[in-house]
Structure 1
Amino acid sequence: MKIPNFSIPLTEIPLQKNIQLFLKREDLIHPHISGNKYWKLFYNINSYLKQNPINPFIITFGGAFSNHIAATAALGKEYNLKSLGIIRGEEIQYKWQLNPTLKLAHENGMDFRFVTRSAYKDKDALTKILQKEFTDALIIPEGGTNDQAVDGIQFMLAEETKSFDYLCTAVGTGGTIAGISKFAEKNQKVLGFKVVDDISLNSTVLELSNRNNFTLFEAHDGGYGKISDQNIRFINDFKERYDIQLDPIYTGKMMRHLLKGIEEDYFPNGAKILAFHTGGLQGIFGANELLKKQNRELIRF
């Protein structure tokens, strides 16, 4: 994997208040390995390939609509690496072809192994089994979060991000915010918008970043994967206003709660805020299939 030789654009979101808000378009970094996923895989893959494995093989974990699964499969295709996805929920194995994320991942060369939800919870045990079965494989955690992933996130920060007072991101497994926290300037405050209801995230991020310069906010709207009508309306309105597509699981929730915080005067007058668009747009196809079955408004894409 290479560091792209172009600058990721910063797009200003105009506000009524004396506050500057910009969105860093990490979703544009790669058409299929988009956003933070690219940087979380960057060191993992490069370090692995330097070892010259005889049969290079990537294994990772995820749910049926996982952005990480989609990105890992796309990376495998681009770099000619076999890939295996350990997918949560064995009931999916008979109908995965109907799932847009898994269908695309399979088209990109990924094979699947479906496990029960109870077995999936013990990923340490699953990892040990996989290590014995595939001795030459690189096994990447769910969401791609590990120390190498955290170090890869440093490339989301650059000279043009140093002038901002606040750095904001959606938070799933904690790797992205940990990387931003670890490599942020001393004067910068890091804000994370949790899209999962997980009380352990604060300690996870602190352990990964070794810096206490971040604050986490609840933004999951009832749990991971929950899509409220309010969030759909917000995403569609945001697209119409600014011609920027947000996803319903991560960036849509982050931007809605961030703008709410601005409206409620959480930020001081004159503050400069940078939010990171971490991609995940492939998830819209699956979300719309679910919304269609529920006779609800669709996300315009």
Structure 2
Amino acid sequence: MLDFDFYSPEEEIVLPLYEECGIRVFVKRDDLIHPYISGNKWRKLKHPLEHARKENKSLLVTFGGAWSNHLLATACAGAKFGFRTYGFVRGDVVENPVLKLCQLFGMELHFVSREYYRDKKALFYTHFANSKDAYFIDEGGYGLLAAQGCSEVINELNGRYDHCFCACGTGTTLAGLAIGINNRQWPTTLHGVPILKGGGFIRDELTKLGVVNQAQIRLHLDYHFGGYAKTKPELIEFIKAFTRQTSLLIEPIYTGKLFYTVHHLIAQKQIARGSTVLVLHSGGLTGLLGTLNRF
């Protein structure tokens, strides 16, 4: 087992809208797990890193865009747990604070064209087929072991909630939460907020990741604000107001869209009075570094 103690409490946030609608909203503060191995990034890395260690692998190879929280989390985790790290970065050679941090933690970066980046397995085998030390970790940590780590959120909760919300990129976190809820046989409605346009593909990903029963899952496909890393003025204004009112820092890529969705559904009376709601804060606050000019 990896030697890593972390702190992720449940914290209630009280806003006039929630009180008016008779709804209690709690946040699972996975953003407090670690400054860089943050939120669902730790959840998704935990079991792959344990597996890599059991397999006597010493080099973690993974993938991401130029502002990838996953690349940064993997780089930091490698430094913490004694792995070398290598990151394939999608697109032209650039410099930014996130990639600089990756390098500070010891990650070797390799920029590749978007065309070559599409086939990640091919990239891995082209460069590391003869390496006995290399261990493949998919973009965003996607995979069955990652979903297993995310499922453990449910066992940490102090009680059962009527609704549980999370942001969705690859669908791994949502799959893990679904598995955890199904294992506990809770009647909780699980809500996924895809941050990509056309997020309906998440249903297929849930099946691939072992979610047999999707009856309790609702996908909210209209809160992507134009697609990945896209924003609109109303999202930015919401984030500014929410952060001022709650002291809870969120960003426009994932968690801003997530909390906007929760707020909007409550305002539209789509959550019943008397309900308890849990929102998973999945961390990734370094995403703010690439978006501060929008504020």
TM-score with structure 2 setting the length = 0.91
Q: Which of these residues, 259, 280, 283, is aligned with residue 284 of structure 2? A: 280
Q: Could you tell me which residue of structure 2 aligns to residue 260 of structure 1?
A: 264
Q: Which of these residues, 71, 79, 87, is aligned with residue 81 of structure 2? A: 79
Which string of whole-angstrom CA distances, capped at 9 and with x for unpartnered residues, describes residues 166-203 of structure 1?
11000001100000001114311110000012432111
1:1-301 correspondence to structure 2 within 5 Å: 1-2=2-3, 4=5, 6=7, 8-14=9-15, 15=18, 16-53=20-57, 56-89=58-91, 91=92, 93=93, 95-96=94-95, 99-158=96-155, 160-184=157-181, 185-186=184-185, 187-197=187-197, 198-208=199-209, 209-212=211-214, 213-218=216-221, 219-288=223-292, 291=293, 296=294, 298=295
Give 1:125 shift: 2.0
In structure 1, distance between residues paired with 2:196 and 2:259: 15
Contact residue 11 and residue 25 of structure 1 kept, 8 A: no
Residue 151 of structure 1 aligns to which amino acid in structure 2?
A: Q
In structure 2, distance between residues paired with 1:51 and 1:4: 23
Q: Which is further off, 141-150 or 222-231?
A: 222-231
SS in 1 for 2:291: helix
The number of aligned residues is: 284
Call closer, same or farther: CA 1:22–1:230 in 2, change over 3 Å: same
SS in 1 for 2:200: coil
Call closer, same or farther: CA 1:133–1:237 in 2, change over 3 Å: farther
Give 1:116 shift: 0.5
Q: Which runs of 5+ in 1 are unaligned?
A: none
Call closer, same or farther: CA 1:207–1:34 in 2, change over 3 Å: same
Call closer, same or farther: CA 1:265–1:72 in 2, change over 3 Å: same
SS in 2 for 1:200: helix
SS in 2 for 1:199: helix
TM-score with structure 1 setting the length = 0.89
Give 1:68 shift: 0.4
Contact residue 58 and residue 137 of structure 1 kept, 8 A: yes
The percentage of aligned residue pairs carrying the same residue is: 33
Call closer, same or farther: CA 1:42–1:237 in 2, change over 3 Å: same
Give 1:105 shift: 0.7
SS in 2 for 1:275: strand
Q: Which runs of 5+ in 2 are unaligned?
A: none
Residue 137 of structure 1 aligns to which amino acid in structure 2?
A: A
